Amino acid sequence: MPETEEISKGLEDVNIKWTRLTTIDGNKGILRYGGYSVEDIIASGAQDEEIQYLFLYGNLPTEQELRKYKETVQKGYKIPDFVINAIRQLPRESDAVAMQMAAVAAMAASETKFKWNKDTDRDVAAEMIGRMSAITVNVYRHIMNMPAELPKPSDSYAESFLNAAFGRKATKEEIDAMNTALILYTDHEVPASTTAGLVAVSTLSDMYSGITAALAALKGPLHGGAAEAAIAQFDEIKDPAMVEKWFNDNIINGKKRLMGFGHRVYKTYDPRAKIFKGIAEKLSSKKPEVHKVYEIATKLEDFGIKAFGSKGIYPNTDYFSGIVYMSIGFPLRNNIYTALFALSRVTGWQAHFIEYVEEQQRLIRPRAVYVGPAERKYVPIAERK
């Protein structure tokens, strides 16, 4: 690397906006949504829609406000046929998040009248949360070779999603676990995906294009892709007795990264990972095949913390979430776990876009430090040696 002025590599510790949505204390392992700690929210049995509302409207809803909000979300369950076709024309082996991108891009292509507007932005976002459920149901069902289906209004967003995805009535335990996962992935300030989406909407591009950009950034294994990559490594280990050997061969000697470990902001245990771990333990106890995966994960976690804890590298939210998704009944394939992450994060993305466009709008356009050759004279191709 040439000697040069300092650049902010990975934009570490650069503040790109202010926010009222989410606050993280990475040293103490604290995460709050609009001032409410995630532990409190989960312990009080909140419904995901209450948290969606909090992100879009700034306060927890009254019963009446929640009822009206749910109706707007449910309007979004009826996605047009061309969105379903955008998914179903793709090969079944496609990446689930890329399929979501194709579907959301189809919406961006058709919503030509979209305009940012304080009076309508939140309703657009709420309806899109409903649409994202229908999109994800159809991504899942296409991968699983099941016919197209739309979510139907029910008591909760989690329930409508699971009933439509599986084509059967989900159990209370499955719904509760899905509801918690949806809440825990709602928002996390400005990670790579939210930032990518903010760059898109800072050009005054539309909501759907912002979500498409965010999905593109979420897909990679260093971000949301870790939800699937973490569990793929447990799957590769296969047997709790093989954890130590696998860890030494791959992580210590092979210099691979332990997926689901480490975080740009948290230098201690991610509070979401603690909650996911508790649910993974409870749900997997009833399913021997999943319990074996949980055992591998906890053993590997001990080796990981021993090796990396002193560097501030601990389990992050993606370490145990895959076991929860697996216990609910989702298979490990096609990046489905990351698509489930996106189903939830679409709330945080849109809330940040609205906050930015309505109150802080300015084109995001950073600079690069040029380190290439000094001025050179152009030589026509025939004269080049």
Binding site for ligand COA (CB under 6 A): 10, 222-223, 226, 257-264, 308, 311, 313, 316-318
By beta-carbon proximity to ligand COA, the closer residue of 221 and 329 is 221
> Do the Cβ atoms of 21 and 10 come closer than 8 Å?
no
Per the annotation, the verdict on 263 as an active-site residue is yes
Per the annotation, the verdict on 188 as an active-site residue is no
Per the annotation, the verdict on 176 as an active-site residue is no
Given 187, 263, 270, 352, the catalytic residue: 263
Given 223, 239, 270, 291, the catalytic residue: 223
Q: From the CB of 311, what's the least distance to ligand COA, in Å?
A: 6
Residue 176's CB is within 10 A of a number of other CB atoms, namely 18
Residue 361's CB is within 10 A of a number of other CB atoms, namely 11
Query: How many angstroms separate the CA atoms of 177 and 164, rounded?
Result: 16
Q: From the CB of 12, what's the least distance to ligand COA, in Å?
A: 7
Q: From the CB of 33, what's the least distance to ligand COA, in Å?
A: 17
Q: DSSP letter at 317?
A: T
Q: DSSP letter at 306?
A: H
Does residue 30 sit in helix, strand or coil?
strand
- What percentage of the chain's residues is helix, strand, coil (to nearest 5)? 60, 5, 40
Query: How many angstroms separate the CA atoms of 32 and 34, rounded?
Result: 6
By beta-carbon proximity to ligand COA, the closer residue of 318 and 355 is 318
By beta-carbon proximity to ligand COA, the closer residue of 76 and 348 is 348
Phi/psi for 62 (5° steps) reads -75, 170
> Do the Cβ atoms of 74 and 126 come closer than 8 Å?
no
> Do the Cβ atoms of 228 and 338 come closer than 8 Å?
yes
Q: From the CB of 191, what's the least distance to ligand COA, in Å?
A: 7
By beta-carbon proximity to ligand COA, the closer residue of 116 and 308 is 308
Q: From the CB of 349, what's the least distance to ligand COA, in Å?
A: 15
By beta-carbon proximity to ligand COA, the closer residue of 99 and 226 is 226
Active site residues: 223, 263, 318
